[in-house]
Amino acid sequence: MRGNDLRDYFVILNIMEQFNPCLRNFIAMAKSYEKALTSVTFAAKGYFDALVRMGEMASESQGSKDLGDVLFQMAEVHRQIQIQLEEMLKSFHNELLTELEKKVELDARYLNAALKKYQMEHKSKGESLEKCQAELKKLRRKSQGSKHPSKYGEKEMQYVEAISNKQSELDNYIAQGYKNALSEERRRYCFLVDRQCAVAKNSSSYHSKVRTRKVFQKALGQVVLGS
């Protein structure tokens, strides 16, 4: 293949040998992140249970019963934050990890098939062009050795026209192949951005609710200290 012929081949090859392995590494890092956050949620449950127990003890006290109610409310604030975190983790897993894993596995098979199909079609068109060019050379050699070269003129023009058409067809196929390859590459980045946006939306919602509940908890603490 010529230089221009290889452009689309290298774009597809780049997806297969660089983008997809990089995406697999991204998925592996995302799983580690998910695992770390899951560990935090597990530890947080123990913390909430301990806080509730402290509230129960305060409620049983004659002098600190009101503080028991405050501790219960604080525990509830943390519990709600925890629920939001678990929802965010669920979104992270379903919207990002599951979708990307599914995509990268299907993608490998699709790209291999697409590349093979392109190469076969490219080879077929190239061979057809080369065959026509060889026939023209053969005809011209025959014409040069003939006593009546003019009788080959019409046939030669047919070959020249056929070669021009086949060359244009091959060039158009290569140009379209390059355009398709770039589209395939962009589609994969778009999919990643789309999945990341879905996660970011849920993450933003989580942090917004966390800030609201922390403001409430701070106000609650100030009331207690004021009393």
Query: How distant is the alpha carbon of residue 34 from its chain centre?
Result: 18
Considering the chain, what percentage of its residues have pLDDT values greater than 70? 85
More confident site: 97 or 211 = 97
Binned at pLDDT 50, 70 and 90, residue 9 comes out as low
Mean pLDDT over residues 15-32, rounded? 88
Q: What per-residue confidence (pLDDT) applies to 205?
A: 63
Question: How long, in residues, is the chain?
Answer: 227
Give domain status of residue 128, yes or no: no
Q: Indicate which CATH number applies to the domain containing 191.
A: 1.20.1270.60
CA distance 8 to 125: 16
Domain for residue 155, yes or no?
A: no
pLDDT, mean of residues 151-169: 89
pLDDT at 219: 46
Residue 90 domain flag: yes
Asked if residue 204 belongs to a domain, the reply is yes
Contact between residue 124 and residue 205 where contact means Cβ atoms under 8 Å apart: no
pLDDT for the residue 208: 64
User: Span 31-43, mean pLDDT?
Assistant: 88
pLDDT at res. 49 = 87
Q: Is the pLDDT of residue 212 over 70?
A: no
Q: Which two tokens stand for residue 74?
A: 């604080």
Q: What mean pLDDT is reported for the chain?
A: 82
Q: Is residue 202 situated within a structural domain?
A: yes
216 pLDDT more than 50: no
Spatial neighbors of 202 by CB under 8 A, at least 6 apart, are: 87, 88, 91, 92, 95
Kindly state whether residue 212 falls inside one of the protein's structural domains.
Answer: yes
Residue 80 lies in a domain: yes
Measure the CA dihedral 53/54/58/64, to 10°.
-160
The number of folded domains in the chain is 1
pLDDT at 211: 60
Q: Does residue 142 lie in a domain region?
A: no
Check if the beta carbon of residue 122 is closer than 8 Å to that of residue 5: yes
| H-helix segments, the chain | 6-14, 20-59, 65-91, 98-144, 153-226
- 0.85 surpassed by pTM: no
Average pLDDT over residues 33-58: 88
The pLDDT score that the predictor gives to residue 179 is 85
The tokens describing 18, both together, are 């660089």
Q: Which of 32-41, 54-63, 70-79, 124-133 has the lowest mean pLDDT?
A: 70-79
> With bands split at pLDDT 50, 70 and 90, how would you rate the model's confidence at 3?
very low
| The pLDDT of residue 223 is above 50 | no
Q: What number is the average pLDDT over the span 123-146?
A: 88
169 φ, ψ to 5°? -65, -45
Burial 112-132 (b: 16+ CB within 10 A, else e): eebbeebeeebeebbeebeeb
Domain range for 51 is 6-117+174-226
Looking at the predicted structure, is the pLDDT value of residue 161 above 70?
yes
